[in-house]
A = this chain, B = another copy of it.
Amino acid sequence: MNQLENIHTIQSTPTLIQTDTLRAEVITAWTQLQMQQPLVHCITNSVAANYAANVLLAAGASPAMIDNPFEAESFANIAAALSINLGTPTSEQMQAIKIAAQTVTAKSTPWVLDPVGYGAFLKWRSAMVDELLLLHPTIIRGNASEISGLAGNQVQSKGVDSSIASHEVYQQAIPLLAHCECVAISGESDFILSKEHNAVIQVNGGSDLQPKITATGCALGALIAAYSAVSTPTIATLSAHVHFAIAGKLAFSKAQSVGSFNVAFLDAIYELNAETIQQCADFEILNIE
């Protein structure tokens, strides 16, 4: 994505939002997720398929991994949200991705784009991501390298892992709001850019072990999609990040190595409740210059 047609800038007078209000809305979103158990259409990679499905089930949603081009349209038509992840694309998945994205766009169903590995060394998927941007995904989420690359910067990539820090990137990502409602950048802290609120929200928490577990970012993208079925893009993105950040922090308090941490993490995703969100959600609204 080297040429953005519209350069969107964060305005100098942000919509007045407060963390207390947002926290209450996150609790509402979590409650709605449990009640509605929305059907989430996921097109994801071979590494994440099982893990993302388990995360969504644990969080309260109903995932379905439908990634063939022959069923993508009919299924996207009944799904409450769509999650597209380009981790290990096949030709048939690529067709399914395009069909599903067009279908949900036509129906105004929310969808999330996770441009795994976006960059110069993975051109096939990157070209598809550029195409998908024109359909205006509801939310774009990725790590710092992917989002920076997507915003038109030359990034030294390290495969599918990020080589730069999230806090260095979020200012660069502002122009991407021309293509979507929210941009989320995961890292040591996560940064969520909201077009609606003209604001950036920094989410703290999680654990250093999370990048040591594969597919956590992919599962987070799918969880954002699940929340987008029951709330606004900003609240959905924030809710999924808060859900992950709290679960990561609680899991690390129980287990400090990767295997047992991952088990504790899934437990914590499942065990989250309104009280825990109220007590543990850790985010702040940043001023943008």
**What residues make up the interface of A, taking CB atoms closer than 8 Å to B?**
39, 41, 45-51, 53-54, 57-58, 62-68, 70-71, 74-75, 77-79, 87-92, 117, 120-125, 158-161, 211-215, 257-260, 262-271
Docked-complex contact B66 and A122, CB < 8 angstroms: yes
In addition to A47-B65, A259-B263, 11 A-B residue pairs with Cβ atoms within 8 Å of each other are: A45-B65, A54-B258, A57-B211, A57-B214, A57-B258, A66-B117, A71-B121, A74-B123, A75-B159, A78-B121, A79-B159
Docked-complex contact A90 and B62, CB < 8 angstroms: no
Docked-complex contact A159 and B63, CB < 8 angstroms: yes
Contacts of A71 in B (CB 8 A): 121-125
Docked-complex contact A124 and B159, CB < 8 angstroms: no
Contacts of A53 in B (CB 8 A): 47, 214-215
What is the distance, in angstroms, from A167's C-beta to the closest C-beta of chain B? 21
Distance of A123 Cα from B51 Cα, bound (Å): 26
Docked-complex contact B68 and A88, CB < 8 angstroms: yes
Contact check: which of B50, B67, B88 meets A66 at CB < 8 Å?
B88
What is the distance, in angstroms, from A222's C-beta to the closest C-beta of chain B? 12
In the complex, residue of chain B having the shortest beta-carbon distance to the beta carbon of A267: B257
For A125, A257, A259, the residue with the greatest tally of chain B CB atoms inside 10 Å of its CB is A259
Docked-complex contact A88 and B65, CB < 8 angstroms: yes
What is the distance, in angstroms, from A186's C-beta to the closest C-beta of chain B? 16
Docked-complex contact A64 and B160, CB < 8 angstroms: yes
Docked-complex contact B158 and A62, CB < 8 angstroms: yes
Docked-complex contact B67 and A88, CB < 8 angstroms: yes
For A121, A158, A161, the residue with the greatest tally of chain B CB atoms inside 10 Å of its CB is A121
Distance of A55 Cα from B91 Cα, bound (Å): 28
What is the distance, in angstroms, from A42's C-beta to the closest C-beta of chain B? 9
Contacts of A41 in B (CB 8 A): 159
Docked-complex contact B259 and A265, CB < 8 angstroms: yes
What is the distance, in angstroms, from A72's C-beta to the closest C-beta of chain B? 10
Distance of A213 Cα from B57 Cα, bound (Å): 7
Docked-complex contact A212 and B122, CB < 8 angstroms: no
Docked-complex contact A90 and B68, CB < 8 angstroms: yes
Docked-complex contact A39 and B159, CB < 8 angstroms: yes
Docked-complex contact B49 and A47, CB < 8 angstroms: yes
Of all A-B residue pairs in the complex, the 9 with the closest CB atoms, nearest first, are A259-B266, A64-B159, A257-B267, A53-B214, A70-B124, A259-B263, A259-B267, A46-B49, A258-B270
Contacts of A161 in B (CB 8 A): 62, 64
30 CB contacts below 8 A, A to B, read A39-B158, A46-B49, A47-B53, A47-B65, A48-B50, A49-B88, A50-B50, A50-B51, A54-B213, A54-B262, A57-B211, A57-B258, A62-B158, A64-B160, A68-B88, A68-B90, A68-B91, A70-B124, A71-B123, A71-B124, A74-B121, A75-B159, A90-B92, A257-B271, A258-B266, A258-B267, A259-B264, A260-B263, A260-B267, A262-B263
